[in-house]
């Protein structure tokens, strides 16, 4: 089996970084890496995550264009050109067999530079709506790996497209049900719904949940309410103390190593980022998505719709989120085991549990071409 020297680049948000890290992890598990280098920005989230993982890391300076025509965009162009020059030096020194970009402005320079130096290139698009960087790079790369079938329409270069899924899915698919619910004073074998607005939390989801706790307290299932660290203190102040001491409600700021707890859940309520959907569908967990309306091109809504249209999830628009709509949808699913089973099966069918291996095949085929 051919071992590869690989450069990976992706940054800005966890949605770009975690699939890249999952790919690297799987390549190492299969003993397919001779050496790996991650290229990011010093100020980006990737700097902390990649360094903490002990992966070689180099930085370039680059920024995204402003949507309006401004003098600042002149500086952005200058940075892009200088980042390409630095990227070429990085490539010349490292001598990769292939370069993959997983999104974010930082990947544009290193992937474009690799193309200019006739090195095989791949981009990975996690969302149904392609990002600006990947739309730009699509014209130059050898292959475009997509995580949602609905993303096909985002690219004119149809011959380059490969459906791979999101590598993050393969990281969680083998996690087994465990007793982590005990850590939160909940019962491990009791039906459980988790309500979670992302790592930072989501105020509208938190407020709706707080107001619905009176009804949740009277149900025969458990509620794991994860507020996000930023909102936790404010949430605790708003909750009637009797609900904080309720046997079937747990309120937490965050859960470390969140994927470990997923197999213990019967239903997840939360945002519809690409990574979350990859994890949820890999394990076949029914979901109620409340897409963030604040993301570029409203891509979370499109992500959620791609899962809900096959019956694997429900979608509540944030503008239509109320304590009653939240409780009604949760209670209908949690109170119907047949519906849960049907949603779970449909969710598994939309998931791609071998996503990392699919993407690795794309890389390997190009290197061995």
**Which residues are part of a known binding site?**
13-15, 127, 199, 255, 300
Residue 222 gets the label, from left (phi > 0), alpha (psi -120 to 50) or beta, of: beta
Task: Give Cα separations from 151 to 35, 120, 356 (angstroms).
Answer: 31, 22, 18
Distance CA 191, CA 188 (A): 8
As given in the structure block, the two tokens for residue 173 are: 């698919």
As given in the structure block, the two tokens for residue 117 are: 């130096």
Measure CA 363 to chain center. 21
Strand order of the β-sheet with 192-196 is: 249-252, 222-226, 192-196, 267-270, 287-289, 313-315
Residues 6+ apart with CB under 8 A from 324: 212
Distance CA 312, CA 226 (A): 22
Distance CA 26, CA 93 (A): 25
Could you give the count of Cα atoms lying within 13 Å of 126 in the half-sphere of its Cβ?
30
Q: Which residue has the tokens 């049900």?
A: 177
Residue 267: phi and psi, rounded to 5, are: -160, 140
Distance CA 307, CA 346 (A): 9
Strands (E), 62-130: 98-101, 121-125
As given in the structure block, the two tokens for residue 309 are: 């249209």
Q: Which residues line the annotated binding site for UDP-N-acetyl-alpha-D-glucosamine?
A: 13-15, 127, 199, 255, 300
Distance CA 303, CA 128 (A): 6
């Amino acid at each position: 089996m051919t071992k590869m020297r690989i450069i990976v680049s992706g940054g800005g948000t966890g949605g770009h970084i975690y699939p890249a890290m999952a790919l690297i992890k799987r390549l190492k598990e299969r003993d397919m890496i001779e050496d790996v280098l991650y290229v990011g920005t010093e100020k980006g989230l990737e700097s902390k995550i990649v360094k903490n993982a002990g992966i070689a890391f180099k930085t370039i300076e680059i920024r995204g264009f402003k949507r309006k025509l401004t003098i600042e965009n002149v500086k952005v162009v200058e940075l892009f050109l200088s980042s390409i020059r630095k990227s070429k030096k990085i490539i010349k020194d490292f001598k990769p067999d292939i370069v993959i970009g997983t999104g974010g402005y930082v990947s544009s320079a290193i992937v474009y530079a690799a193309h200019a130096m006739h090195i095989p290139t791949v981009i990975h698009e996690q969302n149904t709506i392609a990002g600006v960087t990947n739309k730009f790079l699509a014209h130059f790369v050898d292959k475009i790996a997509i995580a949602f079938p609905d993303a096909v329409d985002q690219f004119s270069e149809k011959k380059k497209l490969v459906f791979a899924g999101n590598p993050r899915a393969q990281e969680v698919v083998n996690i087994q049900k465990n007793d982590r619910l005990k850590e939160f004073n909940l019962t491990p074998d009791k039906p459980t719904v988790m309500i979670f607005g992302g790592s930072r939390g989501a105020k509208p989801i938190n407020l709706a949940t707080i107001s619905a706790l009176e009804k949740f307290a009277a149900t025969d299932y458990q509620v794991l309410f994860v507020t996000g660290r930023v909102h936790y203190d404010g949430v605790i102040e708003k909750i009637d103390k009797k609900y904080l001491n309720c046997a079937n409600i747990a309120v937490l700021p965050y859960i470390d190593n969140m994927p470990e707890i997923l197999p213990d859940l019967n239903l997840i309520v939360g945002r519809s980022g690409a990574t979350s959907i990859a994890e949820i569908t890999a394990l076949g967990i029914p979901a109620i998505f409340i897409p963030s309306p604040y993301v570029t091109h409203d891509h979370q809504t499109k992500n959620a719709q791609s899962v809900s249209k096959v019956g694997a999830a429900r979608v509540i628009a944030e503008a239509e989120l109320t304590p009653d709509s939240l409780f009604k949808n949760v209670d209908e699913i949690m109170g119907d085991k047949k519906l849960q089973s049907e949603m779970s099966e449909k969710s598994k069918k939309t998931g791609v549990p071998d996503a990392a291996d699919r993407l690795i095949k794309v890389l390997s085929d190009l290197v061995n071409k």
